Amino acid sequence: MSLAGQSFTPPESVPRETLVERSRAVLAMPDIPLDIREDVFRIEALGLDWDMGVTVCQPRDPAKIPTGADGRKIGVFLLHGGSGDFKSMEPIARLYAEKFGCKAVSMTFPGRLCLDEPSRDWPGDTINPDGSVRLPIWKAGEKITPDQFDLVRDTSMRMRYGTRTVARAKPGSLFRDRMAGWPFAFEQGMKDAMRRHFPEGEFSIYLTGHSTGGPMVFMISQRVPNVAGMLAVENSPFGYIQEEQHAWSGALGKIAGYERVTKKRAPRSDPFYDLYIRTWRDRARYAGPEALGQEGPQALMRLPWLMEEVFEFWDKAKIRPQFKAEYIITHNIAASLEAAARAAAARLKYSPEETGKLVKHYLGYPYPRTGPGGKPVPNVLFCITKDSRDHSIDVYREVVLPMFAKIEPAPRVSVVQWGAGVHTYQKAEADLPLGVAPPIVEFCVDAIKGGYFLR
């Protein structure tokens, strides 16, 4: 028996013992034979060509695809977080398709797909011994050359990140043009991907974006007609809410009863032309809070061992893209969004009126669309894990839920606290070989079938 039964009402929390029971039940379900394929397609946006990539995971027999409470086939559209690509969400997509028959499409952010490698795994490291760094591939055969950027070592956020390495695109370079144009290209690419794989009238689409992918799926949720709901698992909200959530998460967030920070954070100010190159430090900033939550402060007594785990993790994780430029949307950095729009408009020689429209369009990415005649924000089901570094139940209650309640018309929004798991919620732990992912996927399918997302 599933967690929700026939009529779906989400609980406030799910205990660990229930998660272990449901995980075993889901993993014991027979596998549905799948058809898995890659779809790489080219779009034009803001005068540039962009290669977009998705992976499609669906039952070989289309009759196996279930319908939701609205009578349409269930399609799940997945976006990875800030370090990854479609492979980061592959275990989740397979669970939706292999155990429950849903059609699942995982998209890679623009520039993150390693078009040079058939495996799509990135070679080498993000920062190499010769000083070279890993850079996006926005179009097959196109290279960003070293003369197009400066490398900057940033210590302004050392408490959170340690020392950050940033590739700063130079004015007039192709790199700068790409960094200004990717938000618009991303929007168009998501629309095209959903049109290609989830035809309107046949499918209802349910969106999930891990971490940084969250504000992106919230942004697109009102721009595609047949998006029906938000499966927001460790999924950050709209950028303007994330901006406030980021500011207060230090003051309100706790792990295992311990305060994380004691003061409100300053807003982010990343320029649009900075590409953050991730390193082992990004695993370390999660490993510390996770160890605190799971082991308590005595985890510091095994710090050398913990750092060995960090480096072992990075050695495996560095085949994923591990670079990032999305803060301008995910943290609602209005000045950078406007600067990016104006840079793209100047390159295209837009009139003042056309420039103003593009600026307004960019500035709208972190916000819901409101007003008469528009598509409402779909209903939202937030799921947050026990030892998440980035998602605190206190912040949801004090910041996120009240801000969603002010949207007109307000969607139905629930938050479920899971009694196990970390931010990467498919990460294995004792008695949970795929983390909390199997019971969460079952829970989300129950919500779709049980009518939670009907308005």
Alpha helices, DSSP H, located in 168-265: 174-197, 213-220, 239-252
Domain of 92, CATH number, reads: 3.40.50.1820
pTM of the model: 0.91
**By residue range, what is the domain housing residue 441?**
13-124+185-270+278-449
Residue where the block lists tokens 């009529």: 7
In a domain, residue 145? The reply is no
Strands of 31-111 (E only): list them.
34-45, 48-59, 73-79, 103-108
Is residue 148 assigned to a domain? no
Q: For strands 13-14 and 413-418, give the pairing.
A: parallel
Distance between CA atoms of residues 311 and 113, nearest Å: 24
pLDDT value, residue 264: 59
| pLDDT of res. 251 | 44
Q: Is residue 143 part of a domain?
A: no
Long-range contacts of 264-268 (CB under 8 A, 24+ apart): 267/243, 267/331, 267/333, 268/243, 268/327, 268/331, 268/333
The CA distance from 245 to 77, in Å, is 25
Residue 9 half-sphere exposure, CB side, CA atoms within 13 Å? 1
Domain count, the chain: 1
- 57 inside domain: yes
- Rounded distance between C-alpha atoms, residue 454 and residue 346, angstroms: 43
Element (H, E) at 395: helix 393-395
Q: Is residue 142 part of a domain?
A: no
Question: In a 3-state reduction of DSSP, which class is residue 414?
Answer: strand
Is residue 179 one of the residues assigned to a domain? no
Query: Is 252 inside any structural domain?
Result: yes
**Residue 146 placed within a domain:** no
**38 phi and psi angles, rounded to 5 deg:** -95, 145
- 10-residue mean pLDDT series, the chain (455 residues): 61 97 98 98 98 98 97 98 91 98 98 96 93 95 96 89 94 98 98 98 98 97 98 97 74 46 68 96 88 88 93 94 96 97 98 98 97 92 92 91 96 97 94 98 97 94
Q: 137 is written with which tokens? A: 């591939």
